[in-house]
Amino acid sequence: MSEKSTDTGARLKIQARIMLDEEIAFGPGKADLLDAIAATGSISSAGKQLGMSYRRTWLLVDSMNRCFQKPLVETATGGAHGGGTRLTEDGVDVLKRYRQLQADIQQLSTQHFPEFKPLLRKKPLPSSR
Amino acid sequence: MSEKSTDTGARLKIQARIMLDEEIAFGPGKADLLDAIAATGSISSAGKQLGMSYRRTWLLVDSMNRCFQKPLVETATGGAHGGGTRLTEDGVDVLKRYRQLQADIQQLSTQHFPEFKPLLRKKPLPSSR
């Protein structure tokens, strides 16, 4: 769902971040991470799927869990098949609301982009300095 | 109009950027710069007003002018009072449309933020690593 840095041409990129003081409590990267954790049931598998180091993946999970009143991700320990990581009820909720916000943003983007597109070049002129 | 990094507490920050390949053709900083150029009639005065170096200010103007088909900013040379810098018709147009987009974004933000706010802490817990 997140925009790759390899995108080319003219486009309107609108990014929503939930900030808490200086910290990004939630944004496009964390939303993708929650999707990957829900799909894989594991923090390390989710990180691998997104091409992130385990350390970075862990730090993103920790950041979300420190910003929200209740953790968004929980890891169960023990049991017949060992542990497992999953989204909490709040995790599912925040992800769903954020995806809805992104859908509304996409609509706004689609609506406004034609106002700018005809004024833009196909690609930037080379820098004159 | 742009959000300061000193903002605190919980907030939903939605930022719109017009991208052209890897270059930011237009965004919140460039919009503020166009406003300042319109107000001061000078690139250097506009930069000072925004606390930017002349070099950075000049590079932002150059970037806009390289991304759009027609320049957004033009500098007149000569005349009785020497030169003067102002927005072109396209400059006025792009700025106006971008501010309208920002207003629509603000409305979306106001509408969605209450979905997240009650789930957030007042401030992040300290990092556990």
Contact B67 A120 (CB under 8 A): yes
What does pTM read for this prediction?
Answer: 0.87
- Nearest chain B residue to A113 by CA: give it: B18
Q: Which of A94, A119, A125 sits opposite B66 (nearest CB)?
A: A125
**Dihedral of alpha carbons B116, A71, A94, A19, sign:** positive
CATH match of A15-119 with 1.10.760.10: no
Alpha-carbon gap: A65 to the closest alpha carbon of chain B (Å)? 9
Contact: B26, A116; criterion CB under 8 Å: yes
In B, which residues are within 8 Å of A100 by CB distance? 112
B25, B60 contact by CB (below 8 A): no
Q: Any idea where the domains of chain A sit in the sequence?
A: 15-119
Residues of chain A with Cβ-Cβ distance to B115 below 8 Å are 97, 101
Give the pair of three-digit tokens for residue B84: 């003067």
Distance CA A50, CA A21 (A): 27
Q: Do A18 and B12 touch (CB under 8 A)?
A: yes
Give the gap in angstroms from C-alpha B21 to the nearest C-alpha of chain A.
Answer: 4
Instruction: Write down the ipTM of this complex.
Output: 0.87
Counting Cβ atoms within 10 Å, is residue A92 exposed (0-12), middle (13-18) or buried (19+)? middle
Sign of CA dihedral A14, A18, A21, A23: negative
Tell me whether residues A120 and B68 touch, CB distance under 8 A. yes
pLDDT tens digits along B17-57:
999 999 999 999 999 999 999 999 999 999 999 999 999 99
Q: Please tell me which of the candidates A94, A105, A115 has its beta carbon nearest to residue B97.
A: A115
Task: For residue range A58-111, list pLDDT tens digits in order.
Answer: 999 999 999 999 999 998 876 555 568 999 999 999 999 999 999 999 999 999
Contacts of A12 in chain B (CB under 8 A): 16-19
| pLDDT tens by residue, A34-46 | 999 999 999 999 9
